[in-house]
Amino acid sequence: MVFDLNDNLRNARNIFIEAVRKTADSATQSSKGLFLTYDIMQLGRKKEHICRVIGERLTMLVKEGADVARDARMSELLSQLALIENELAERESEKVPFVNPFKTKKAPCECTTQCERKE
């Protein structure tokens, strides 16, 4: 076998490039998961705030004896709440692939729950 320095350098370069690519992909996925978590927390705080404002408005309307269904501010608040909940559900569904596989509880497969050899 002939020692070829160019081939060895080319192979080392390819290994290094692949390692950098895998590290970059991992870092990108981790940062996406982090930003999604931050967005979910922020949307949760917005939802709590809107719910609090809805409660205050509802209390005020009940004390005044006004019709809650015809209140423009209340319908606006409820539409904002619906938008926030939709966005929150969207963000949570985006985050599912980024969940740590070691922290998730998996359901047992059929072979372990309904095994014929099991006594």
User: For 49-59, what is each residue's pLDDT tens digit?
Assistant: 999 999 999 99
**What letter would DSSP give residue 98?**
G
Which pTM does this prediction carry? 0.61
Over the chain (119 residues), the average pLDDT of each successive run of 10 is 76 89 80 86 96 94 89 93 94 74 63 57
In the chain, pLDDT over 70 holds for what percent of residues?
Answer: 77
Residue 87 has a pLDDT of: 95
pLDDT, residue 104, reads 59
